[in-house]
Amino acid sequence: MDDSHDPALNKPTLPRRARTKPLVRHILPSDNHGFIGRVYELSIVSLNFDSYEEMAQYPDVKYALEVNYALKGLTRRWSRST
């Protein structure tokens, strides 16, 4: 089969636009940000439970711990970047 009649394959590619200035990396220090600090503080309650099943009985605690888990993957501690 001839692909030259397929309009999706014959689209002209646009040239990439030249970057006017370099990208700047912004690292938000987690110790100085209120939301991140508050989530870390709320996750301390996990120390009161012996198992996940016991903690999962409390939906608000479970939510706080799941947010903390996701947030840890997204943030970098200030001490690592300095």
44-79 pLDDT tens trace: 888 899 998 998 899 999 999 999 888 887 775 544
Give the model's confidence band at 38: pLDDT under 50 very low, under 70 low, under 90 confident, else very high: confident
Q: Report the pLDDT value the prediction gives residue 57, as an integer from 0 to 100.
A: 92
Cα separation, 82 vs 80, whole angstroms: 6
Q: Report the pLDDT value the prediction gives residue 79, as an integer from 0 to 100.
A: 46
